[in-house]
Amino acid sequence: MSTEERFVFVACGAAAHLEALEIALRHLRKFADNPIVVVTDARRNALPIAHDRVIDSPAPEALSDAQAAIFLKTSLHRILDPEQRYCYLDTDVVAARPGVDQVFMYRFGPVTFATDHCRMRYFSPWAVDCGCLSDRRLAQAEALNALIEPLDACPPELVDKRRRLQTKLEAYSARYRSPAPELAARRETVRRLLERSAGHPLQRRAALLAFVLPRFGARLTRRLWRGGDPTQAANSVIDDALGTLPEFIRRELGFDWRLDERRGYDEAGRLLLTDVPFYVAKQSEFRFDEARDEWVDGAGERVFHGPCDHLRAAIAEDFGVTITDPDWQHWNGGVFLFDARPDSEAARFLDTWHELTLQSFDLPRWKTRDQGTLVAAAWKHGLQDQATLPREFNFLADYHKPGLSFDAVRGFSFAGRPGFVRPYLVHVYHHWGDRDWAVWRWLETRLEDQESES
Amino acid sequence: MCGIVGQVELRGSVDRDRLAAMRDSLEHRGPDDAGSWLSPSGRVGLGHRRLSFLDLSSAGHQPMPSEDQRLWLTLNGEIYNHRELRRQLEARGHRFRSACDAEVVLHGYEEWGRGVLERLSGMFAFGLWDDQEQELFLARDRFGIKPLYYFADGDRLLFASEAKALLAHPAVPREVDWTAVCDYLVYRYVPSPKCIFKGLAKLPPACSLRFGREGTLTVREYWTLPPGDRQLPFDDAVTAVDAQLESAVRRHLESDVALGSFLSGGYDSSALVLYLDRIGYRAETFAIGFTDWPGSEHRYAELVAAQFGLEHHSRVLGPESLALVHRLARVYDEPLADISTVPTFAVSHLAARRVKAVLSGEGADEIFCGYTWQRDFMSTLGAPAAGNPSTNDLVAFYAGAMAMGSFDRDRLAGLLHPDLHAHLPDDPWWFYRGLVRPELPPLQRIQWLDLKAFMGELVLTKVDRASMANSLEVRVPFLDHELVELLFGFDPEVYFRAGEQKPLLRANLAGRLPESILQRTKQGFVGPDSYYQNVAWYRALLGDSRLVRDGVLQGPAVEALFATADHWRLWKVAVLELWYREWLT
């Protein structure tokens, strides 16, 4: 009883942000019993904030409004009553049903976040200006990402196994890319011949080329010795090699690559790898251009390079934080639990997040967001394996997410996955306020419903 | 209710900062105040985190000395008969400085020595340093409501309310006792005095411990229940129970702050609410329900609360609540595989927003015969026609009743890595076997096992940690020892009727509670089976098990549990996995 649990929003600047706050506040007041605090920089506000607990905490004038909001968010522990516990909410997070207060039960560590809707590699181009993403194609890229990620996913229990497999594949790939002159010459021969045998489904796979390569030279020489068209001979050698590929992969890599399905399974028959470009091309206009090493749309225009490692590199180079898992499931910054006591591990974490974020404002390659620096802070404090909030407490309702369905009674569902999710807190991604969107219409009705927690 | 720690060094001295670190690892048990005391010699240190209920002033600060500073006390718990003892002690010339119940223990020890334990009514665990005798005296209440761990290595003794505080001291190694892991898989908990961490021990319920200047350590059991043989007409027994239960509830209200009550809408918690109403105490009530489940208890709780016009609070959990197991791995610093840990934690969190303490119905099933296995026993092995059941038969029966995914020696060998097979127990049921008391009537033998094993080791541990993690005190009036002694004093024929649930309690509730409550059958404090039987959830948690990777469990054996959807054993393994990740990696 001596420690109270409180919700906290941060909002400042343009009217749109403060109007969003007003909506989020109305929902939260309806569904939560715990007190709600709003932190703002009132000097910047286009509209007054109608709430009974508002803390005005000026951010440095030099910061933009977006930067100021992030500044306040990452320094909440220095602004709020240190004796209480908090749940931070972005202003686009909307309470949708009774029981929201339960979120405080899920304090799994000094700070507790929910997972984001994609993994770090996919988020990377949104966090840093690495050239992998064109801003004007943002929505298109998000849609493509949403297609790729489920195909590229595997069950959590197999993540480590797949990582080990990918490490091996990368080793093969590195061998293929080796600068050794004799390999370079062979590689060029292979590439040339492969280009002439365009259309072979596996040609783009560097790892598989690495498999073909060692078998190529001698066999090709033998075929050519017997006479015949060089291209045909090359294709024949490649087909032979690929014919033994599944056996080779099973032996060398310990998994079962099924050419017909274009999927790889472990010894227990569990899906490990999918030929993502093949399936994306089947489902959409997007395709992966091997020669350009990038994803393109139907018109051949670059969308983005696909998942990239630039965020991890930037974190290592700019902040000296090493992330050993390039495929880490990073956190979403929209909802998180924390303590504000100055001597707490939570405060130390938030200090780190704050400092790294401020640094990032001055680094040209960093976009004005707090989520990339959140990755750095999590790893710096060794929290990367900590459990995350159940998704019901930060459900990312993404307008562009293919396969995400909504039923006003039963809740959200994902294509191919059983069951429904009935979120307490809905994080609205895109189309905020769009009454043509069933999710938004439903959220509006939530304020009218008289449903009680019990 | 509080958190306590202490340290006695035989050769070196106590490091004040380390003692404070141990103490503050228990802040959740006592956020209101913190105190430490180091003896002038530096060899002894006591620490205390306080959750205050009586005499909220600084006079209740602990560790608390006797007037002459010969004795220093750090106490966790409540002494419900402290006023009565205070009167007795004042009549013998003792002068009190505070209104705190803790001071009664100090003066009581001065007056009666270790015999003070037999006079205390309540829930407690304490450490008392006697500077004159140069002796540490530890004690734990009769039923094990409050916990006490200790560690002794020849150079020192450390004690604390929770293992995590001992592990905060650098002298305590964080190593696994693999025999305790076997015990956990067999029982769902690690029975006292053993602990999952090598070198640590739990002081068993109803025991005291003396640690002398030479490092001698003596454990003594100070209370037990004699066989019941008192014959009484049923109606007279009903009246006697009624009076004793009212008295127990009244005593458990001893507090300077408002108390609430857990309320499930079952017999036991509804009975507490009924007696509170009779006493005229208006307690807020707290219940947990589960979404989309006809068996959800919160509706029944609402009925009872409405009948008595009480301010009632419900929380309805969904399947996402299973995620709490990640937090519980920290809360329970030993693995405890009871699925009701989740709702117990949730209802504690709910109540802690409004009150500092609640009443709860633990103990009623044990003493009034509410468990199905008690009735099963009386219709089979315990039936008069069956004769006197042997210890082996009784242990086998009880092990079967408690199974919930049990492991016998072969199953343990199948699951554990061969490197650990040297730790397999010759007799997996050693704990039950040691608790069998052939001198008791057959039914009371089972009840004694329930009190000492299921309740003392599992249920009360579950409730203490889940509530104290939320800085909430749980009081259990059904475990008032005078009430328990009254019931156990009866010949079982007085309080047991085949086919009838808790007849003595029910007779006291009849006509005073809604019929829909009285007609309810026994239901555990758990959610729908579908929550716990989701193999995909287990797969996600255990598919890349660190226990397997580290050579503790055999991967194919875990796979086999998936393949057969062996939920109960999967639950045990999942809890062990999370505990292992939290504390050993």
Which of A93-97, A296-300, B545-549 is the least confident region? A296-300
| Inter-chain touch B320–A157, beta carbons under 8 Å | no
- Give the model's confidence band at A177: pLDDT under 50 very low, under 70 low, under 90 confident, else very high: very low
Between B146 and A290, residue with greater pLDDT: B146
Which of A232-246, A423-437, B504-518 is the least confident region? A232-246
Predicted confidence (pLDDT) at residue A232 exceeds the cutoff of 50: yes
B286 touches chain A (CB under 8 A): no
Q: Which residue of A has its CA nearest to B331?
A: A108
Q: Per DSSP, what are the bridge partners of residue B55?
A: none
Pairing of strands B156-160, B207-211: unpaired
d(CA A47, CA B46): 56
What pLDDT is recorded for position A298? 83
Q: Which of residues 392-411 of A touch B (CB under 8 A)?
A: 392-393
H or E stretch covering B287: strand B285-290
d(CA B218, CA B141): 17
- Give the model's confidence band at A206: pLDDT under 50 very low, under 70 low, under 90 confident, else very high: very low
Measured between CB atoms, which of B323, B353, B542 is closest to A106? B323
Mean pLDDT on B388-410: 93
Instruction: Determine the residue type at A123.
Output: F
Pairing of strands A5-10, A85-89: parallel
Predicted confidence (pLDDT) at residue A413 exceeds the cutoff of 70: yes
Dump pLDDT digits (tens) for B275-304. Answer: 999 999 999 999 999 988 877 888 889 999
B230 touches chain A (CB under 8 A): no
Dump pLDDT digits (tens) for A41-58. Answer: 999 999 999 999 999 999
Dump pLDDT digits (tens) for B222-241. Answer: 999 989 899 999 999 999 99
* Å between B410 CA and nearest CA of chain A: 25
Report the candidate in B512, B524, B521, B518 with the shortest Cα–Cα distance to residue B246. Answer: B512
Instruction: Determine the residue type at B108.
Output: G
How buried is A317 (Cβ within 10 angstroms: 0-12 exposed, 13-18 middle, 19+ buried)?
exposed
Mean pLDDT on B334-349: 96
Mean pLDDT on B254-262: 91
Q: Which residue of B has its CA nearest to A154?
A: B540
Mean pLDDT on B436-462: 97
Q: How far is CA B135 from the centre of its chain?
A: 27
Is there a contact between B155 and B302 (Cβ–Cβ < 8 Å)?
no
What pLDDT is recorded for position A274? 81
What pLDDT is recorded for position A290? 66
Helix/strand/coil percentages in chain B, nearest 5: 45, 15, 35
* Å between B121 CA and nearest CA of chain A: 27
What pLDDT is recorded for position A454? 36
d(CA A162, CA A410): 34
What pLDDT is recorded for position A357? 95
d(CA B24, CA B3): 9
What pLDDT is recorded for position A223? 59
Beta strands in B44-172 (DSSP E): 44-50, 64-65, 71-79, 122-130, 135-140, 149-152, 156-160
d(CA A377, CA B83): 54
- Give the model's confidence band at A176: pLDDT under 50 very low, under 70 low, under 90 confident, else very high: very low
Is there a contact between A155 and B540 (Cβ–Cβ < 8 Å)?
yes
What pLDDT is recorded for position B87? 97
Is there a contact between A34 and A5 (Cβ–Cβ < 8 Å)?
yes
Q: How far is CA A26 from the centre of its chain?
A: 30
| Inter-chain touch A391–B320, beta carbons under 8 Å | yes
- Give the model's confidence band at A221: pLDDT under 50 very low, under 70 low, under 90 confident, else very high: low
How buried is B426 (Cβ within 10 angstroms: 0-12 exposed, 13-18 middle, 19+ buried)?
exposed
Instruction: Determine the residue type at B352.
Output: A
* Å between A12 CA and nearest CA of chain B: 31
What pLDDT is recorded for position A425? 98
Q: Which residue of A has its CA nearest to B259?
A: A1
- Give the model's confidence band at A228: pLDDT under 50 very low, under 70 low, under 90 confident, else very high: low
Q: Which residue of A has its CA nearest to B328?
A: A108
Measured between CB atoms, which of B321, B326, B542 is closest to A157? B542
Predicted confidence (pLDDT) at residue A71 exceeds the cutoff of 80: yes
* Å between A317 CA and nearest CA of chain B: 28
Residue B145 corresponds to which tokens in the numbers above?
A: 């409501």
Could you tell me the CA-to-CA distances from A171 to A174, A210, A242, A256 in Å, in that order? 5, 9, 19, 18
What pLDDT is recorded for position B438? 95
List of chain B residues whose C-beta atoms are within 8 Å of the C-beta of residue A106: 323-324, 327
Dump pLDDT digits (tens) for B163-191. Answer: 999 999 999 999 999 999 999 999 999 99
Residue A383 corresponds to which tokens in the numbers above?
A: 């929290």
- Give the model's confidence band at A258: pLDDT under 50 very low, under 70 low, under 90 confident, else very high: confident
Predicted confidence (pLDDT) at residue A207 exceeds the cutoff of 50: no
Q: Which of residues 306-335 of B touch A (CB under 8 A)?
A: 314-318, 320-321, 323-324, 326-327
DSSP states along B185-196: HHHSS--TT--S
A102 touches chain B (CB under 8 A): yes
Predicted confidence (pLDDT) at residue A197 exceeds the cutoff of 50: no
- Give the model's confidence band at B349: pLDDT under 50 very low, under 70 low, under 90 confident, else very high: very high
- Give the model's confidence band at B482: pLDDT under 50 very low, under 70 low, under 90 confident, else very high: very high
Is there a contact between A367 and A64 (Cβ–Cβ < 8 Å)?
no
Percent over 90 (pLDDT), chain B: 85
| Inter-chain touch A105–B345, beta carbons under 8 Å | yes
- Strand order, beta sheet including A331-339: A54-56, A36-40, A5-10, A85-89, A331-339, A111-115
- Give the model's confidence band at A2: pLDDT under 50 very low, under 70 low, under 90 confident, else very high: low
How is residue B452 annotated by DSSP?
I
Give the CB-side neighbour count of residue B300, counting CA atoms within 13 A: 28
Between A233 and B324, residue with greater pLDDT: B324
- Give the model's confidence band at A234: pLDDT under 50 very low, under 70 low, under 90 confident, else very high: low
B346 touches chain A (CB under 8 A): yes
Dump pLDDT digits (tens) for B5-36. Answer: 999 999 999 999 999 999 999 999 999 899 99
Predicted confidence (pLDDT) at residue A245 exceeds the cutoff of 70: no
Q: Which residue of B has its CA nearest to A159?
A: B544
Contacts of B563 by beta carbon, 8 Å cutoff, 6+ apart:
none
Measured CA angle at A225 (ends A221, A228), to 5 deg:
100
- Give the model's confidence band at A166: pLDDT under 50 very low, under 70 low, under 90 confident, else very high: low
Measured between CB atoms, which of B314, B540, B559 is closest to A454? B314
* Å between B212 CA and nearest CA of chain A: 38
d(CA A85, CA A196): 65
Between B273 and A251, residue with greater pLDDT: B273
How buried is B427 (Cβ within 10 angstroms: 0-12 exposed, 13-18 middle, 19+ buried)?
exposed
Residues in chain A: 454
B114 touches chain A (CB under 8 A): no
Q: Is the pTM of this model over 0.90?
A: no
List of chain A residues whose C-beta atoms are within 8 Å of the C-beta of residue B323: 106, 387, 389-390
| Inter-chain touch A392–B544, beta carbons under 8 Å | no
What pLDDT is recorded for position B310? 96
| Inter-chain touch A453–B349, beta carbons under 8 Å | no
Contacts of B45 by beta carbon, 8 Å cutoff, 6+ apart:
B6, B7, B14, B16, B19, B36, B37, B38, B39
- Give the model's confidence band at A292: pLDDT under 50 very low, under 70 low, under 90 confident, else very high: low
| Inter-chain touch B559–A99, beta carbons under 8 Å | no
Helix/strand/coil percentages in chain A, nearest 5: 45, 15, 40
What pLDDT is recorded for position A282? 86
Percent over 90 (pLDDT), chain A: 48
DSSP states along B394-421: HHHHHHHHT-SS---HHHHHHHB-GGGG
- Strand order, beta sheet including B312-317: B312-317, B285-290, B259-262, B357-359, B473-475
Q: Per DSSP, what are the bridge partners of residue B201?
A: B150
Between B59 and A110, residue with greater pLDDT: A110
Radius of gyration of chain B (CA): 23
Average pLDDT in chain A: 82
What pLDDT is recorded for position A136? 52
Phi, psi of B219 (to 5 degrees): -110, 135
What pLDDT is recorded for position B554? 96
How is residue B42 annotated by DSSP?
S
Dump pLDDT digits (tens) for B544-564. Answer: 899 999 999 999 999 999 999
Percent over 70 (pLDDT), chain A: 74
- Give the model's confidence band at A205: pLDDT under 50 very low, under 70 low, under 90 confident, else very high: very low
Phi, psi of B205 (to 5 degrees): -55, 150
What pLDDT is recorded for position A198? 42
A82 touches chain B (CB under 8 A): no
What pLDDT is recorded for position A167? 64
Kindly provide the ipTM of the predicted complex, given to two decimals.
Answer: 0.90
What pLDDT is recorded for position A250? 74
Measured between CB atoms, which of B349, B541, B542 is closest to A105? B349
